[in-house]
Copies of this chain bind each other. A is one copy, B any other.
């Protein structure tokens, strides 16, 4: 239609024969307009191809409909589904997602500056943490913040994760019931709460039953799991079971063991964590601990929506129970 000039509420008002305020009221949720005015405005708007300017809107309301989603581990197949589910849920709620990628386990001021500049309505940090003074910036600006799949040491924020401690314990008990007599734990990055808590629950049970175990530190990647498994059996001794802190490492572990001719589950057992799609592939059929992703997402979004509606800044640690998924590696 028009070539250069962007269509504004004023243009629509003129064509519809009403005031600019009335046009605004038609598009602003909650405002009151007569049906007659509404129809006139919508007709004119359609004819001109009008579209309310989000920037003008945000400038005056001091609110946005943007959620900042910060992700670290998009390489881990656990996260793409998290991303798409969040995006779909927010779209249904009328929010858009500003995607921020970071390589840092602890977010830097620079990583999240953009979120403050855009005055986002809320923020989700997945698979990463943040120094307190950075996190406090969000507090000062009354921007609600959720740590997803991470727990902060600090009690001042809100986090949603799987109950990793419980999971670690249950995995240990499950393996013990299978008659396993010694175990290896392959950890993820040790600065993550997920790896530490899974480990803590696991070791706690083993120690109470006086079962010998060895820990190998790795890094939540396939290659890490592969190399660490090789290292673990280099001495010639193959432990009765491997608990691997996430699935993608567990797949690496399985491949390394297969490559060394170790029979699974006869000679050793492997159990992962997450229940990514690949765990169910015929080549792997990996026993694992399923993260309750749907529920975790639900709690995250409902906290954010509440806080966006009426900011309280309340903190909390939500831990959702997962479940063991038994397949063919145990």
Give chain A's interface residues, CB within 8 Å of chain B: 1, 6, 49, 51-56, 58-59, 62, 64, 66, 69, 74-75, 77, 79-81, 83-84, 87-88, 91, 96-101, 113-114, 116-119, 140-141, 222, 226, 251-252, 255-256, 258-259, 277, 281-284
Contact = CB atoms under 8 A, between A and B. Distances in A.
A169 to B, nearest CB: 31
A59 B55 contact: yes
Given A88-B101, A100-B87, A55 B52 contact: no
B6 A69 contact: no
Given A55-B55, A59-B55, A119-B53, A222 B100 contact: no
A42 to B, nearest CB: 15
Nearest to A252: B281
A81 B80 CA distance: 10
Given A98-B99, A99-B99, A54 B1 contact: no
Contacts of A283: 255, 258, 283-284
A58 B53 CA distance: 10
Contact of A84 (B52, B74, B77): B74
Nearest to A71: B84
Contacts of A6: 62, 141
Nearest to A137: B49
20 contacts: A1-B140, A6-B141, A51-B113, A52-B117, A53-B59, A53-B117, A55-B55, A55-B119, A59-B59, A66-B98, A74-B83, A75-B84, A77-B77, A83-B99, A91-B101, A96-B114, A98-B98, A222-B277, A255-B282, A258-B283
Contact of A55 (B58, B69, B282): B58
B99 A97 contact: yes
Contacts of A117: 51-54
Contacts of A251: 281
Contacts of A97: 98-100
A258 B283 CA distance: 9
A105 to B, nearest CB: 16
A118 B66 CA distance: 10
A40 to B, nearest CB: 22
Contacts of A56: 55, 59
A228 to B, nearest CB: 14
A255 B75 CA distance: 22
Contacts of A49: 140
A256 B282 CA distance: 8
A51 to B, nearest CB: 6
Given A74-B80, A74-B83, A74-B84, A119 B54 contact: yes
